[in-house]
Every structure is written in C-alpha cells, then in structure tokens.
Amino acid sequence: MKNVEHIGIAVKNFDEANSLYSKLLGVEAYKTEFVASENVNTSFFKVGQTKIELLEGVTPDSAISKFIEKRGEGIHHIAIEVDDILAEMERLKSEGFTLLNELPKRGADNKLVCFVHPKSANGVLVELTQEAR
C-alpha cells in the first residue's frame, strides 16, 4: 500500500459541486470523466500529493445514487494506491476482508480498481487502485 490516492465524495449536483470545490480548493478540476461501469460522472482535483474525486450517480441504481438516497451527500470512499492490485486482493482475502470484485475493474483516470466492503472495514468503503499499464 503506497498512499491515499483519492477521497471520493458523493454529490447530488455535479455542476454545482464542481463550482463549489473549485472555490474551496482554489483550483479547477483537472479532469472530468463518465465511468460507464459505475454509471457515474467523476471529476478530479489535485490537493497536494492526493486528490478529491467528486462522484454523481447518473442512474438511480448506481452505487452513488443509492448511497445519497440512504445517507445523503458526503465522503463515500477512500482510495489507496497499490503497486500490485492482484497481490493486494489476495492478501486482503486471506486476512478475511470481503472484496466486492473477483477481478480488478476499469476505474476513472486510467486506473484498475477493486473495492473492499464497508462492513469489513469499520463502515468505510475502501478502494484499491493501481495505474493501468
């Protein structure tokens, strides 16, 4: 495990949230991307060595829409960068964590990602992320 690659924040209104976070952080998003596998719009802001990812669900069944419906807007997940996502997935499985994917899937920003169930991590959804090669 290397560093906190990003913190994901679930938002209701993508345009309004982007404008607000631009003001808050004093920088514009360096990238926006629709991620079809998750049915979300994403934007990324650099904050020192890490990033803030804003996420808006585009369908009612997306994880972000369901999260907002149940819990409202706010911090949705933390993403930890790893060198070898398959090795980390094996290690976490052997430690008893519940993974939400059998295999890494394509995330935003040219990354491979895998999620650890919040019920096995003290109520926090953890994303493993590795640069896609």
Burial string for 6-17 (b: 16+ CB within 10 Å, else e) reads: bbbbbbeebeeb
Count of residues that bind ligand LP2KCY5N according to CB under 6 A: 27
Q: Check binding of 51 to ligand LP2KCY5N (CB under 6 A).
A: no
Q: Check binding of 7 to ligand LP2KCY5N (CB under 6 A).
A: no
Answer whether 57's CB lies under 8 Å from 70's CB: no
User: Which phi and psi angles does 99 have, rounded to 5°?
Assistant: -95, 145
Residues binding Co ion (CB under 5 A):
8, 53, 79, 127
Q: Check binding of 64 to ligand LP2KCY5N (CB under 6 A).
A: yes
| Residues within the interface to ligand LP2KCY5N (CB under 6 A) | 8, 35, 38, 40, 42, 53, 55, 63-64, 66-67, 70-71, 76-77, 79, 100, 107-108, 111, 113, 115, 117-118, 123, 125, 127
